[in-house]
Chain A
Amino acid sequence: MVQFSKTRLDASFAALSDTTRRGVLEQLGRADASITDLAAKFDMTLTGMKKHVGVLEQAGLVTTKKVGRVRTCKLGPRRLEEETAWIERYRQLWAARFDELDEVIEELKRKETIDGRKTRE
């Protein structure tokens, strides 16, 4: 089965349950921003915004990078459901191939048996 931690799902849902955090995601969807920018935009203290970003980061929805004294935030590289769906599609692709490979191997086995018999005869 696709390995997927429930903890991470929970973290995502928790992260998305807050209006400000959804707003931050929407904002970051348009452009990367520093925590200072975001705090100003959402009319919050720096500490308050840091907390929100921390929750989003924990859930993998946002990544941050500190350059000098500025911490820049951007959208996390993937959305959870996309990853799950992708992995399942990928699994199906390989399952399809490997089920066919089974047939090829069966045929090679049969051929070997026949060839083996010929050699002995």
Chain B
Amino acid sequence: MAQRNPIESGVPDNKQYLHPTLLKNYGNWKTHDRPRPGVLHHVAHSGDEVWSVRAGTQRQMDVHTIRKLCDIADTYAEGHVRFTIRSNIEFMVSDPNKVAPLINALEESGFPVGGTGNSVSMIAHTQGWLHCDIPGTDASGVVKALMDELYDEFRREEMPNRVHLSTSCCEINCGGQADIAIIVQHTKPPKINHDLVANVCERPAVVARCPVAAIRPALVNGKPSLEVDEKKCICCGACYPPCPPMQINDPEHSKLAIWVGGKNSNARGKPTFMKMVASGLPNNPPRWTEVAEVVKRILHVYKNDARSWERLSDWIDRIGWPRFFEKCDLPFTKYLIDDWRGSRASLNASTHIRF
């Protein structure tokens, strides 16, 4: 049978999928407001208006769930939807009378309406045990467990500013920067299966991957393999993807860390990277309760203590790190003082101290 050549069409044109009001007013919007949590109301310079109703999804969706969302789009909205970067779905309607029935239909079908403005939005996440080849933990399950706990905060807009969360199943951090991020933190060097290294791994490439030059070629039991200087090893797991026999994931010793204060927007201060504030949390499926407890605690303190429009990083800029750790009842351990390259820039080179 002759093989079919692919059509290298690349990125499809989105014009064919746009809601007609969006297409008509493309590039010509004037302002927006939020009549209630989960609803955006945009007004164009032409006077046209559009209401977008945002709902949370589980991201990894079965076709029945997607068809249900399509049914809702056809019955209660106008057949056009889009997804946000945080896997929320938005339904656009040109008639405000359609908003309430659409919200009812979504919530009755189990899709929470919210995720707008100063809410805790859906967690950006990764693949985890479901599909990844190097995961230290699950992704969808962690997210489901945590969003169950944050359900009300998704549906309300009661935080000082928006809150973005992410989870990542290894230190590559595919989940990305966020106000609060949960990331696997390995605590032991890789366990090497020396029988497999020679056949599976391109050894010079693996040596080159190590950020601290802790890996070197070695002959083990007469076979070419690799060895790790465990005093140098920082347990990052960078060697594991190119060399699966260097098993970094450990049911007991792969822990979870919490990072805070990442912000990609340029609003107010420049964008910031998140900082590690807790680690050593157990990787406990199916609901990761120890992790959820710390995340909820930080969110609770932030909610009560931050001023309006302060993102988590802005809030900490005002109150300072000592008070952050104190208020959140988190221990400030020596592992939180950076010693990687450029780390002196993170030290306090001033007498700016809050008493």
Do A and B assemble together? Answer: no
Q: A residues near B, CB below 8 A?
A: none
